[in-house]
Structure 1
């Protein structure tokens, strides 16, 4: 019996081949979630056809004695198909190979791509990022995420047991890449576990790490949920809080850098700051503002309290970072509320 092959190439075939070119290797589950979210079995049939056509190859990698997952990568014939259909290709299949040591690292980055790409985010992998920003091949950065408004964030994934030397390397990479004005200025760190968050914050503060953009540190799972939501998009955020039903009413753009806006909350004008992303540069801006209150009052400037948008499990962390002050109040959004603000796939 003849093996089923691709008779006429379809857009979804090309999308899969292009993803394998851009991200080098993907598991069956990752391809299913991105390209076949509503089909449990068709993904295997499609991958068989691509493999029988000689366009992809599949191999299994076992870890710790467990049965290995199927991983898929492009062949030179697959790259030829992309080129025939108008895609620009620079690398041959051998240049896309990934060592088993790097596979876990790449798997994390590709998981984030799979989760965020339907919600308006683009991702560039670590290889392309290092090339664009003249970084070292051994650097820790996982790649960049590009929002729907074109803002580019270098991103890292910190495992629960991230070694101290690797934590220090992440801090140093961010400093080196953001200095001089020609590199990345926005960064997002996805941390697995509260300890990794605290350790990164400690090292960043110890080394006085500052960027001209943002420096966000978020729990891995929560961070993905937040970036899927409208709250993470500046235009959508503004529309949400301009709604008459909102308990916070957007009044005007903020006169203070890094604060979202001037808003009305419980009959009071406040500065509204979205800290759901735990942007350490916003934390620093709030602290600088609080230190400046006495001077503002001496010169007759009208001080406003700061309303911090947080989440119940994050509030303790945010209060610890900001310190106690009667000039700070908090608005908590539940995890369920944040999840309910998820963007419609493809809307951004």
Structure 2
């Protein structure tokens, strides 16, 4: 028996497959069937959409074993969205379908939306980013993450150990595309992180935008816990009474250990924050009189201490991973 009428959720699934090209069964379940704890109904509904020709599926294979399915729009699915006025009439299904590494890479990029949508984030796919910012169609940018307070991060994701020329191309794009003020570069391998970090440090003074470089899990922790200004202030308040500063080296102060200090965080490992800190020189500190309390993850502490060894007015406080995980668990439990 065929589907007589597509539900509102069916249409939202089809539209999401147009916007993001592909989702796996677990991703569809988390985005659209969260109230159904088991995946059975999600799998059943997707099988109906597939049986009736709106979508197709491709197996996701890992180490020779099928793990799940990845879904794509068909011509019928595209035509349904056109009839509803949801997409441009020049769209073709064949332009949306991916295979092999490109399919797996798209799934990992889209996982940011799956993980962060409940936290108020949105994700633009690379097509929308390139058209909006008039970027070269061969740009390696993979999307744009929009924070709850509308900060736009150009997104690059390294899922393997990239070649040096790939890293250099990303650096070149970031240097040229300064219409994007913030970038997020995420690495799933330690080698990719280390090599990009080394290249970024060499070119940092030539880059006008702020670049956040993080391992994959650290990126999700930071985005979930300090994703907007309110969360940032809540983090500062754990160290003392916080006040907004109208004019100063940093926008907030905290009453910490009996002193009024500027307070900032760099859980995003941002070149912009480090640049701002470097401008608050010992000479500026003597004129202003306030020390700086920088909140940082332990893994980045040693490098920052070395970089600012000649800034005795800068103090560091380590934010532990377990504390961030507790914040996330508390928030998720409160929203169940």
User: Is the TM-score greater than 0.5?
Assistant: yes
Match of 1:93 in 2: 93
Write the distance in 1 (CA, Å) between the matches of 2:229 and 2:273. 15
Q: Does the CA-based 8 Å contact 1:175-1:211 persist in structure 2?
A: yes
TM-score after normalising by structure 1: 0.85
Match of 1:282 among 273, 296, 309: 273
Q: Is the 8 A contact 1:79 1:89 kept in 2?
A: no
**What does residue 185 of structure 1 align with?**
181
In structure 2, the CA distance between the partners of 1:115 and 1:199, relative to structure 1 (3 Å rule), is same
Superposed CA RMSD: 2.6
**Cα separation, 1, equivalents of 2:138 and 2:294:** 38
Q: Are 1:171 and 1:209, in contact at CA under 8 Å, matched by a contact in 2? A: no
Task: Supply the distance in 2 between the matched residues of 1:118 and 1:158 (Cα, whole angstroms).
Answer: 24
Deviation at 1:36, TM superposition (A): 2.5
Secondary structure of 1:8's aligned partner: coil
Corresponding position of 1:43: 42
1:119/1:346 contact within 8 Å kept: no
The reply on whether 1:337 has 2:323 as its aligned counterpart is: yes
Which of residues 281, 305, 309 in structure 2 aligns to 1:319?
A: 305
Structure 1 residues 21 and 226, CA gap change in structure 2 (3 angstroms): same
Report how many residues are paired: 330
Measured in 1, the distance between the counterparts of 2:333 and 2:110 equals 18
**1:109 shift after superposition:** 0.9
Tell me by how many angstroms 1:34 deviates. 1.9
| Contact 1:120/1:346 (<8 A) preserved | no
Q: What is the TM-score of this pair, normalised by structure 2?
A: 0.88
Q: Distance in 1 between matches of 2:95 and 2:160?
A: 31
**Bigger RCO of structures 1 and 2 (CA < 8 A, at least 6 apart):** 1
2:106 is paired with a residue of what secondary structure?
helix
In structure 2, the residue matched to 1:14 is 11
Q: Tell me if 1:119 matches 2:114.
A: no
Report the CA distance shift for 1:315/1:254 in structure 2 as closer, same or farther (over 3 A). farther
Offset of 1:309 from its aligned partner? 0.7
What does residue range 164-203 of structure 1 map to in structure 2 within 5 Å?
A: 164-178=164-178, 183-203=179-199
* Corresponding residue number in structure 2 for 1:266: 257
CA contact (8 A) 1:274 1:308 kept: yes
Measured against aligned partners, the alpha-carbon deviations of 1:305-346 in whole angstroms (never above 9, x if no partner) come to 211111233323433444464222122222122123335599
CA contact (8 A) 2:160 2:192 kept: yes
The answer as to 2:129 corresponding to 1:140 is no
Query: Which whole-Å CA distance do the structure 1 matches of 2:110 and 2:166 have between them?
Result: 20
- Relative to structure 1, the CA distance from residue 193 to residue 58 in structure 2 (aligned partners, 3 Å threshold; closer, same or farther) is closer
Show structure 1 runs of 5+ residues with no match.
none
Equivalent residue for 1:252, pick from 244, 267, 271? 244
- Rounded Cα–Cα distance in structure 2 between residues aligned with 1:227 and 1:100: 29
Partner of 1:224: 220
Deviates more, 1:20-29 or 1:32-41: 32-41
- Over residues 68-122 of structure 1, what are the superposed CA-to-partner deviations in whole Å (9 max), with x where a residue is unaligned? 6422101122123334445234512122122434223312211112111221111
Any gaps of 5 or more consecutive residues in structure 2?
Answer: none
Q: 1:252 deviation in Å?
A: 2.2
- In structure 2, the residue corresponding to 1:207 is in which secondary structure? helix
Tell me the alpha carbon deviations over residues 14-60 of structure 1, each in whole angstroms, 9 at most, x when there is no partner. Answer: 22111101011112122122223422322110111111221111122
1: CA distance between counterparts of 2:4 and 2:44? 14
Deviation at 1:209, TM superposition (A): 4.7
